[in-house]
Structure 1
Amino acid sequence: MTELYNLLAMFFSVIFFLIASLGTMGQAVENWFKYNLRHFWTSDGNQTEKKAGSKPINGVRIFYPRDMRTAGKEGKVILTCTIKISGETSDCKIERSSGEKSFDSEALSYVSKARFRPAMRNGIPVTEYNHRYAVRFSLAN
């Protein structure tokens, strides 16, 4: 009987300890949550959001197609891409062609190799869909 009493006393002691700990942890979690809400949201209650970068952060460079340079042609290709949280591009599509296959294929190759600063929402990287990029091919550069 004494063993049962000691076992029950130990069991209830552990239960009371856990309840007391949860109360303290609950207050800590609540304070953390309030702090982060205050810093993640702007003063007017809207989320802070930044779009993905427009310049590659990995130093990839665009190459002017030799046949277009020889022909003295210039062009501009408009593409849309998904920018992942890693900064990689995917699902890149030509939105407006330059009219020259060499420019179009080089622009697609360029954005597929490039790594960009990802879009941010509340300080956390997020995937951005349909980010527009304009790739210009100019003989002056």
Structure 2
Amino acid sequence: MHRVLIPVLLLCFTSCSSTPKNQPRPYYPADLIKKGETGDITASCDVPTDGRPQNCRIISSTNHNLDAAAFRFLDKARYSPATQNGHPVIERGHIFHINFRLGD
């Protein structure tokens, strides 16, 4: 088990991906809740050293009525920047998966 973990930890010391700092809830438009609409959005964004996603674009969407809500979520998301050799760097093309589901 330790043989698997050690290389992963060493890799993270030289280069790490952006990590979430907050967990904003996606805004779910009330009219879409009433209609029972759900969806899965995949977006790609750059995450600069300030941790605010930018240059976002939708890669795939199972419900285009939720695309604007996904962008709204990404606008509120904050990340710790990616690092390389211990220094913050811009992460290009970070993938975000945003799922819109109705409760039971």
**Pairing of 1:57-136 with structure 2 (within 5 A):** 57-101=21-65, 103-136=66-99
Q: Whole-Å Cα distance in 2 between the matches of residues 107 and 92 of structure 1? A: 10
Query: Kindly, what percent of the aligned residue pairs are identical?
Result: 30
CA contact (8 A) 1:92 1:112 kept: no
Q: Whole-Å Cα distance in 2 between the matches of residues 59 and 77 of structure 1? A: 17
Higher relative contact order (CA 8 A, sep 6+): 2
Higher strand share: 2
Deviation at 1:130, TM superposition (A): 0.5
Where 1:106 maps in the other structure, the secondary structure is helix
Deviation at 1:90, TM superposition (A): 0.8
Deviation at 1:61, TM superposition (A): 2.4
Two-structure CA RMSD over aligned residues (Å): 2.0
Q: Which runs of 5+ in 2 are unaligned?
A: 1-9
Deviation at 1:124, TM superposition (A): 0.9
Task: Give the TM-score of the pair, scaled to structure 2.
Answer: 0.80
CA contact (8 A) 2:22 2:77 kept: yes
Deviation at 1:122, TM superposition (A): 1.2
CA contact (8 A) 2:43 2:97 kept: yes
Task: Give the TM-score of the pair, scaled to structure 1.
Answer: 0.60
Structure 1 segments of 4 or more deviating over 3 A?
none
Q: Whole-Å Cα distance in 2 between the matches of residues 138 and 64 of structure 1? A: 9
